[in-house]
Structure 1
Amino acid sequence: MNSWYTDVILPIPLAHTFTYELTSDQATLLKPGFRVAVPFGKNKIYTGLVYKVHRKMPVRYEAKPIDQVLDDGPVVTGEQLKHWEWIADYYMCSLGEVFRAAIPPALLLESETLVVRNDSFDGDESTLKDEDWLVYEALQYQSVLKVHEVASIIDRKHVLPVLKRLISQGVIKVQEEVFEQYKPKLVRYVKLKEAYNSDEALQALLETLHRAHKQKKVVLTLFQLLAGAEEQVALKTLEEKSGVSPSVVKSLLDKGILEDYYLKEDRIGFDGGTTESSKQLNPYQEQALEEIKDHFRSKDVVLLHGVTASGKTEVYVKLIEDALQRNEQVLYLLPEIALTTQLISRLRMYFGEQVAVYHSRYNANERVEVWQHILDAGEKAQVVLGARSAMLLPFSRLGLIIVDEEHESSFKQFDPAPRYHARDAAIVLGMMHGAKVLLGSATPALESYYNAKTGKYGLVEITRRHGNVLMPDIELVDIKEKHRKKRMKGHFSDRLLEEIEACLEEQGQVILFQNRRGFAPILECQTCGHSPQCPNCDVSLTFHRYKNQLRCHYCGYHIAMQHSCMACGSSEVDTKGFGTEQIEEELRALFPQVKTGRMDSDTTRGKHGHEKIINKFEEREIDILVGTQMVTKGLDFANVRLVGVLQADSLLNYPDFRAHERTYQLLQQVAGRAGRSKERGKVIIQTFDPLHQVLQQASMNRYEDMVSDQLNERRQFRYPPFYRLIKIVFRGRDYNRVNEAGEWFSRALRSGFKGSSVEVLGPEFPPVARIRNQYHKHLIVKIPLSGNLRASKTMLKKIGKSYEAIANFRNVRLIFNVDNY
């Protein structure tokens, strides 16, 4: 009789699944979606995911048996696996890479290499080198060492050469220890022993404790808690309520009067219930809601184009209520973790503990618990709120997907693979589940708006702000002219300072936007013109005053601030340009009595970093908030009356075909933070080129004009939405080999696509060509919508396989990035 086998997905970037042998019992138990521990390579144990169970024996290698089955049931659903297959196929990566990105890290078993003493070693100890001898001696006292312990013994970071030497001499052996990362949170509870449950027994117990007053108090407190609303009493609660030390309770446990037990508890809890019902919609929101429902009858995807502060979230809430009444799950995607902070509290007021949150700031154990709730389709995971990775969760009855701020580039994953776009992948996920997808934005992406205008998506618009508040008054300030007339104080024009003073006098709050963190991007010598560069990347080091460091924003390299030139020794060094730190410092000098705050990736590093700053600003502990793009996205502050953009030109001059579209979106979004309650907001945009077409369109809220201009340019120069883009990246440490690899691949591509409508651009080095000591070179493939995308990808993969077979290019990594926007 034929043996049973399983194809297993491993969380590594290899194109194929791997086949392992099963026992008949394992074959009966296992289904797609189970986790199994499997041996792979030299003594390594991996967590694999069962993909198929079959009887077909592998031809090219002998199937090994699996190590162990890790679950009682599947942790990944069938629909999820189909979606992962689509992501792997469309974005040209392996199924293993999707598995690695999707699964919480704590569900992947880890194996650790252990160094074990070889008892049969009978060689000459005197031949061992000094480092080898230290390890050998340590193993005489301890039979097993971990690799990091070996590193500390020999005081060396890289221990592999030492271990290889010891293995070859027969001094040590190595083996793998496998351990589960996820540890459930167990809470210790206490109860009275059954013998004391009757009234008579309890009375007798209290009489025996008449001299042990504290112990008697603990028993009485426990009895009161159980008699009240408490069904079970946690040990910690008992100690707090009775006001005794842990040793008193321990004495009762030792005597057998109390007994303890443990219960599993969620790490992320929500104590309150629903505190509010959803708000009454105004006529414009009501009309938009009805139009969305009407479109959903014939279309799966609808774009909601609502101006900033038009109340899109309340429309979402009504749609979520409808989905929950149909017993469907809802996925609510946001581009930034910062946005989830405000939205969590809003949604929990309406839906209580039905709201689950999933993003990268949650630790590994917390993410496992959210994953399990969604897999079980439990009450705690009816509405799932999260960043792009939440789209990869195990939904079983998904009915509605909301992609808020759908235009945001943060929805695109760049590194590592899978390089998916969460908005597009969510639309496919909705189709697989038969769910409806709502895309929402005040400044939709050109692709989405084009799809809506051509009838592929439904289109619904809200043109008025909630409460009929006027759109903010946007004023462009020519800082070239202000500099000439000497009307600048630092980086503030007299016009912006006037408005800040007026706003603060009226008890309003101010947001200032500068799209660069740190104090200054360049430190330059006034004598020779030298500026310190990162040794690992092709960028200058940014000055951070709060740490008195020069820091690289690409690789993290940093050195102490230099007070003399590193090239010529001159002490005449000065900073060029400005970031959020410098703006904050200037504000403190200009407005010493005003409370200022800063929101960028330097100040929001902790798990609750965003939340703390947002709460401080909401509670008026900060009057002026300076920030990077974080402050532009979807945040709702009632008292903000003024928004200032310190320099809009840096956005316009970015080397990207989307620069103008993104500048418009960013300026409109940051402007939308102003005047969201009653009074009309004011926006000051400082620029060297106030007559620039995009700035004029942004200042007058002319979204349709911007779309029309950009679409004409995209059509003319063959960019999305009329063409699909695939970027091919060559990455390696050797400059010449990266060059050669790019040239070879471009010749092969041009030969392969000869005579077709597919265009090949490049290869070219990007503006920052070296990052972390690796050179990058890019090729762009443009495929018309009328062209065959699948055939083009097949051609790319075929050339890619030929490329990987060339020994000279083995150290130059090939990366495909589909829909690179």
Structure 2
Amino acid sequence: MTQFVDVILPLALPQLFTYSVPETENKAVMVGMRVSVPFGKSSSYTGLIASIHDQAPALYQAKDIHQIIDDAPIVSKYQLALWEWIASYYCCHLGEVFRASMPKTLLLESETLLMLKSHNPDVIKDLSDEAYLLWEALQLQPQLNVKTAADIVSMSKVYKTLQELLQAGIVELEEAVVETYKPKLVNYLMLHPAYETEPALVALLNNLAKQADKQKDALMYLFQWKAQHPAIPLLEKQLIEAAGVSKATVNTLIRKGILVRYTEQQDRVIFANDANAKNTQLNEIQETALNELHHHFTTKECNLLFGVTASGKTEVYKKMMEYYLDQGFQVLYLLPEIALTTQLVQRLTAYFGNRVAVYHSKYNSQERFEVWKHVLHANPEAQIVIGARSSVLLPFQHLGLIIVDEEHEPSYKQQDPAPRYHARDTALYLARITGAKTILGSATPSIESYEHAVQGKYGLVTLNQRFGAVQMPKIEVVDLREAQFKKQLFGPFSKNLLEAIAEKTDKGEQVILFQNRRGYAPVLECMRCGHVPQCPHCDVSLTYHKFRNQLRCHYCGYAMAMPTHCHQCRDNQLTTKGLGTEQIEMELASQFPKLRIERLDTDTTRGKNSLETILDRFKNREIDVLIGTQMVAKGLDFKMVTLVGIIHADALWYQPDFRASERCYQLLTQVSGRAGRAELAGQVLIQTYQPSHPIIELVQQGNYMAMFNSQQTERQSFNYPPFCRLIRITLRHKNYELVQQAAHWLANSIRQSIETPLLGPEEPPIARIRNEFHRTMMMKIPLHQSTVRVKKQLQRTLTAFESIAAYKAVKRTVTVDPY
């Protein structure tokens, strides 16, 4: 009987595709396995089996699968259920979730292969020089891919040359799938088994004097290693470095039959533990919080741990993790930023050793695949997984605890591309289907999470004192208007801030300066005509980067050299407006030429290890002042930081977002919390033109409840979350009139078919990005209305919209919970 499989393809398509399975493979297929399948005229893709059945598709002839790639399923049943929920809840396609979830090494690449055909030898003499080169290459190896062919004859000539070979009947093309994962292999050395007997070993030792000096050194090191570490294999690289010999020496000993080289697969990331880390003891407040968490978990699936900055939440997490590890469960520890991951890995690996795995985008595809493999098989190397938002998509088998640290952070929300999921909410659903418990931790919880705790949906546990009776930092506000009037403003720095920096650094203490804008200045302006250079592809001004001497767009990446004169009036009087981290770094260096100053922003952390390098240098006190964007505000723990300066706070609350006040409070509180985290007292200076702004006063008081009550009242009045659900629909196209017409048609259709308030369509703050004009509309779904029914009706409306020929080229995105 013919068997069929429904396959998820890594494409943005609304349905699964059915393929037939050869009868010889019927017993080999299982749900969760990868298969290579044909799609379209000549392409092939790696798909995932979602279901197995015996029903042939009614609308098309099922094609056979090409091959079964795996011997066993590579995703868990929980993972498939999570994918389906993400696709349904966030209004995206299952194929998009599949592509986002899988490491690239598991999504095999489709490459066109060239193969030599039997042909008439007479045609060879008529080939062009380039075609003859490819023919010669195919004599030496049976297949070539197009990329290799391009390396031989150049990319500009490859397609014309291939056409010549095809027309001559010399080659044929085959669309084949190529595996890209290569495990890391490590070479080890051992004594040849012939010398395992005592007489043979004695003979070898007697002949040792006859060996060349370097060979003798290599063998002596091997004997010493085996005597000291009989159960630990010897790395070839280690022997070469420790014995001071060359690879040629080792190869000679192998040829003589004295040594044997063997290869083993090894993980690319290995951590070691620190026995002293186990001695950490919780204080009385932490012990109480730990007991409350255990108590709440008897009746609730999720707890909110509300602890002030430096209250020791991580130590409580460690004890909870240890409790679940002892029961054989896996633990997922989510963090909003890779910067946090770097510091936390050091602390957790010191405590748990090589039971910790890390998963985020700075790791290469090979490293991510190894973590995936360990998690899938519940190996000891990945009992704890630390990672950014994508780690919630890993194939957990025995998940017992999920920790979402800094749960308020907007970084947990994926923006582009789809799926546009929120890692915190996705983690809560993953915990529900796996039976795991969840801890949401923050010093400034999101309004939604705290509202759930107040309503009793979550348990609430508080840590209202810093660990070790350390005092909260003293927060002072500097009025920039007054400083300017008294001529006490030096560039971006007030006299108060400069004096505080001098005082702290003279004592050997460290300083963090916060400015939430990278580059040198956001605007370059002509002083004669007022012209500001704009991005030709986006409706934004170009940001000046002095280090590169460029104007750059932070939306599309467009860059141009720094102009010497105005492009409008040709005048050479150009000036910059606004502040970026580059400018602050240069101004500070001019004020304090002897200080060691470093920046921490996207521009300085592009390399794989650049972030770790900067943080390690700061931790080792090789940097006196660290200037950064919001990367410095998120959970970093440096005991010698006693001063935090916020250069310009006003820009934080002038945002077209209903969460601007909440996020401003969170950001200012979090960055202030980097100061005075140990015995040394902390100080925070906030520079602002509005010292009496309500948010500034609440941050000074540390009054989260006042902020929560104010925001709750405001949002209830204007019907914003947590008192409704939001869905944002964005349309974009290069034709302004077309996207305008399409937006009005779609808005009218939604209003007619769905009884839900709709705002828009309207231009967003930046109406054109990458030469595409944008229009947005926002659905506000009341809590009493079924979001499932609304999404189904919305999907029907969008399907009708896409069926209109005039609007087919208009791109649309749907973002659920766009905040």
**The TM-score by the shorter chain falls in which range?**
over 0.9
Partner residue of 2:721? 720
Distance 1:120 1:531 in 2: 65
**1:797, distance to aligned residue in structure 2 (A):** 0.4
Mapping 1:224-239, distance limit 5 Å: 224-231=224-231, 232-239=233-240
Mean CA deviation greater in 194-203 or 408-417: 194-203
Structure 2: gaps (5+ residues):
none
Q: 1:484 to 1:166 in 2, by over 3 A?
A: farther
Partner residue of 1:112? 111
Partner residue of 2:580? 579
Query: Are 2:490 and 1:492 aligned?
Result: no
Root-mean-square deviation (Å): 2.4
Distance 1:783 1:135 in 2: 63
**1:614, distance to aligned residue in structure 2 (A):** 1.1
Partner residue of 1:98? 97
Partner residue of 2:569? 568
Distance 2:774 2:640 in 1: 46
Distance 1:812 1:107 in 2: 32
Query: Are 2:282 and 1:281 aligned?
Result: yes
Partner residue of 1:205? 204
Distance 2:200 2:465 in 1: 72
Among 779, 782, 787, the alignment partner of 1:781 is 779
**1:622, distance to aligned residue in structure 2 (A):** 1.0
Amino acid at match of 2:794: L
Q: 1:748 to 1:274 in 2, by over 3 A?
A: farther
Q: Deviation string for 1:41-83 (max 9, x for gaps)?
A: 2222211111111111111121222112222211101111111
Amino acid at match of 1:223: F
Aligned partner of residue 36 in structure 1, secondary structure: strand
Distance 1:257 1:124 in 2: 55
Distance 1:207 1:61 in 2: 78
Distance 2:158 2:522 in 1: 38
Distance 1:611 1:541 in 2: 30
For normalisation by structure 2, the TM-score amounts to 0.95
Q: Deviation string for 1:605-628 (max 9, x for gaps)?
A: 111222111111111111111000
**1:29, distance to aligned residue in structure 2 (A):** 2.1
Partner residue of 2:2? 3
Query: Are 2:771 and 1:770 aligned?
Result: no
Aligned partner of residue 354 in structure 2, secondary structure: helix
Distance 1:169 1:801 in 2: 47
Among 801, 805, 808, the alignment partner of 1:807 is 805
Mean CA deviation greater in 736-745 or 368-377: 736-745
**1:250, distance to aligned residue in structure 2 (A):** 1.0
Partner residue of 2:788? 790
Distance 1:566 1:173 in 2: 55
**1:375, distance to aligned residue in structure 2 (A):** 1.1
Partner residue of 1:36? 35
Partner residue of 1:441? 442
Partner residue of 1:536? 537
CA contact (8 A) 1:274 1:351 kept: no
CA contact (8 A) 2:273 2:352 kept: no
Q: 1:325 to 1:607 in 2, by over 3 A?
A: same
Distance 1:781 1:723 in 2: 10
What is the number of equivalent residue pairs in this alignment? 813
Distance 1:481 1:142 in 2: 77
CA contact (8 A) 1:398 1:433 kept: yes
Partner residue of 2:180? 181
Distance 2:652 2:120 in 1: 67
Q: Deviation string for 1:91-137 (max 9, x for gaps)?
A: 111111111111111111112123567876999999x9xxx977645
Aligned partner of residue 113 in structure 1, secondary structure: strand
**1:149, distance to aligned residue in structure 2 (A):** 5.5
Q: 1:164 to 1:557 in 2, by over 3 A?
A: farther
Distance 2:218 2:158 in 1: 55
For normalisation by structure 1, the TM-score amounts to 0.95
Partner residue of 1:58? 57
Distance 2:625 2:495 in 1: 17
Aligned partner of residue 31 in structure 1, secondary structure: coil
Q: 1:113 to 1:734 in 2, by over 3 A?
A: farther
Partner residue of 1:68? 67
Distance 2:596 2:277 in 1: 33
CA contact (8 A) 1:134 1:153 kept: no
Q: Percent identity?
A: 50
Aligned partner of residue 403 in structure 2, secondary structure: strand
Partner residue of 1:672? 673
Aligned partner of residue 685 in structure 2, secondary structure: strand
**1:243, distance to aligned residue in structure 2 (A):** 2.6
Amino acid at match of 1:659: A
Partner residue of 1:341? 342
CA contact (8 A) 2:130 2:161 kept: no
Aligned partner of residue 29 in structure 1, secondary structure: coil
**1:482, distance to aligned residue in structure 2 (A):** 1.9
Query: Are 2:228 and 1:195 aligned?
Result: no
Aligned partner of residue 725 in structure 1, secondary structure: strand
Aligned partner of residue 27 in structure 2, secondary structure: helix
Partner residue of 2:554? 553
Q: Deviation string for 1:224-251 (max 9, x for gaps)?
A: 3223314322222232333322212211
Mean CA deviation greater in 652-661 or 149-158: 149-158
Mapping 1:137-148, distance limit 5 Å: 138-143=133-138, 146-148=145-147
CA contact (8 A) 1:187 1:234 kept: yes
Partner residue of 1:703? 704
Q: 1:145 to 1:675 in 2, by over 3 A?
A: same
Distance 2:459 2:766 in 1: 40
Structure 1: gaps (5+ residues):
none
Mapping 1:608-687, distance limit 5 Å: 608-687=609-688
Q: 1:585 to 1:514 in 2, by over 3 A?
A: same
**1:651, distance to aligned residue in structure 2 (A):** 0.9
CA contact (8 A) 2:479 2:691 kept: yes
Amino acid at match of 1:22: V
Among 805, 814, 817, the alignment partner of 1:816 is 814
CA contact (8 A) 1:479 1:686 kept: yes
**1:463, distance to aligned residue in structure 2 (A):** 1.3
Mean CA deviation greater in 338-347 or 679-688: 679-688
Query: Are 2:422 and 1:421 aligned?
Result: yes
CA contact (8 A) 1:136 1:171 kept: no
CA contact (8 A) 2:273 2:351 kept: no
Q: 1:162 to 1:700 in 2, by over 3 A?
A: farther
CA contact (8 A) 1:273 1:353 kept: no
Amino acid at match of 1:661: E
Query: Are 2:698 and 1:689 aligned?
Result: no
Distance 1:479 1:17 in 2: 60
CA contact (8 A) 1:725 1:781 kept: yes
**1:714, distance to aligned residue in structure 2 (A):** 0.9
Partner residue of 1:589? 590
Distance 1:652 1:766 in 2: 18
**1:205, distance to aligned residue in structure 2 (A):** 3.1
CA contact (8 A) 2:473 2:676 kept: yes
Amino acid at match of 1:711: Q
Partner residue of 2:375? 374
Q: 1:594 to 1:692 in 2, by over 3 A?
A: same
CA contact (8 A) 1:274 1:348 kept: no
Amino acid at match of 1:438: I
Distance 1:587 1:465 in 2: 31
Aligned partner of residue 456 in structure 2, secondary structure: coil
CA contact (8 A) 1:600 1:627 kept: yes
Aligned partner of residue 710 in structure 1, secondary structure: helix
Distance 1:573 1:147 in 2: 50
Partner residue of 2:85? 86
Aligned partner of residue 476 in structure 1, secondary structure: strand
Partner residue of 1:510? 511
Distance 2:791 2:129 in 1: 54
CA contact (8 A) 1:518 1:582 kept: yes
Amino acid at match of 1:225: W
Mean CA deviation greater in 258-267 or 399-408: 258-267
Amino acid at match of 1:644: G
Aligned partner of residue 28 in structure 1, secondary structure: coil
**1:209, distance to aligned residue in structure 2 (A):** 5.0
Mean CA deviation greater in 238-247 or 811-820: 238-247
Among 757, 773, 780, the alignment partner of 1:759 is 757
Distance 1:95 1:673 in 2: 41
